[in-house]
Structure 1
Amino acid sequence: MPGKPPRICGCGRKVPAGLRCECQAKADAERKARFDRTRPSSSARGYTSKWERARAEFLAAHPFCRRCGAPATVVDHVKPHRGDAALFWDRKNWQALCVNHHSSAKQSEERRAARGQRK
C-alpha cells in the first residue's frame, strides 16, 4: 500500500507526509514562547518543593502509567485545577502517567474539552 504523497506548505516547500515544515515548527515555537511569557512561573502555579515531595511519594505508590502500564514519571491532575488549591492538592484528582500520555494524549483531550466549552 503506497504512503501518502508529500504536500506543499504555504511557504512553497515540499514536505513529506506526516511531518511539519520548518516554517511551521518555527511559528509553533514562537507562539509557545509568547504564551510562556504571559504564564505565571511554575512555583506561582503551585509546583513548589512541597509539590515535588508529594509527587515523588505518589509516584512511589503508583509507579505505572494509568493508561498504558509504562513507567510513570508525571503526576497529572485528572480535572485541571486552574489555580484551585483544593483541587490541586486533592489526591483523588491525581493520576500517574508516562510522559507520552501526559504530553500528547492528555493535552489534546484538554484542548478539545476547552474548545467544546467555548461553543
Structure 2
Amino acid sequence: MPVRAPRICGCGHRIASGERCPCERMRKAAYEQRRVPARERGYDSKWEKERAAFLKLNPHCARPGCSAPASVVDHIIPHKGDQRLFWSRSNWQPLCTSCHSRWKQAQEKRGLRTGS
C-alpha cells in the first residue's frame, strides 16, 4: 500500500504520513482542558434516555456500506449550544464507534467541526 510523503508542519517539523506533530498534540490537549464538560453541554441523563430510545429504533450504522451495530448518536449539523438543533431528531444519525471516529476526524481536518 502506498504511503504518502512526509509533510512539513507550520512549526517547521517534518511529520511522517499518518502522524501528528507534537505542536498539534499540545494544541489539542490545551483545547480539551478548556472545553466545557459534556454534562454542561447537554449530555445528561435526559440525553442518555433519548439516545437509547433513538438507537433502539435505529440499531444499525447509517454510513453507506456499514451495517455494524450503532452505538453513537451523532449530530449531523454541529449544534454548538443551540438547544433546538441539539434535540432535533432530524439532526441525529446512528453511527458505529468506528464510523463516528472516522467521520468526526475527517470533519475536524476540513475545519467543519469544532467541539460539540
TM-score relative to the length of structure 1:
0.72
Give the 5 Å matches for 1:15-94.
18-20=17-19, 24=21, 26-67=22-63, 68-94=66-92
Return the alpha-carbon distance in structure 1 between the equivalents of residues 14 and 112 of structure 2: 33
Bigger Rg, structure 1 or 2: 1
Aligned-partner residue type, residue 40 of structure 1: V
Aligned-partner residue type, residue 100 of structure 2: H
Return the alpha-carbon distance in structure 2 between the equivalents of residues 87 and 5 of structure 1: 38
What SS class does the counterpart of residue 43 from structure 1 fall into? helix
% same residue? 44
- The number of residue pairs the alignment matches comes to 108
Return the alpha-carbon distance in structure 2 between the equivalents of residues 107 and 12 of structure 1: 21
Aligned-partner residue type, residue 101 of structure 1: C
Runs of 5+ in structure 1 lacking a partner? none
Runs of 5+ in structure 2 lacking a partner? none
Return the alpha-carbon distance in structure 2 between the equivalents of residues 113 and 106 of structure 1: 10
Return the alpha-carbon distance in structure 1 between the equivalents of residues 108 and 102 of structure 2: 10
Q: 1:106 to 1:3 in 2, by over 3 A?
A: closer
1:27 offset after TM fit, Å? Answer: 4.3
Q: Conserved in 1, the CA contact under 8 Å of 2:73 and 2:94? A: yes
What SS class does the counterpart of residue 79 from structure 1 fall into? coil
1:114 offset after TM fit, Å? Answer: 3.1
Q: Write out per-residue CA displacement over residues 75-116 of structure 1, whole angstroms, 9 at most, x where no aligned residue.
A: 00111101000110011111101112211224423552539x
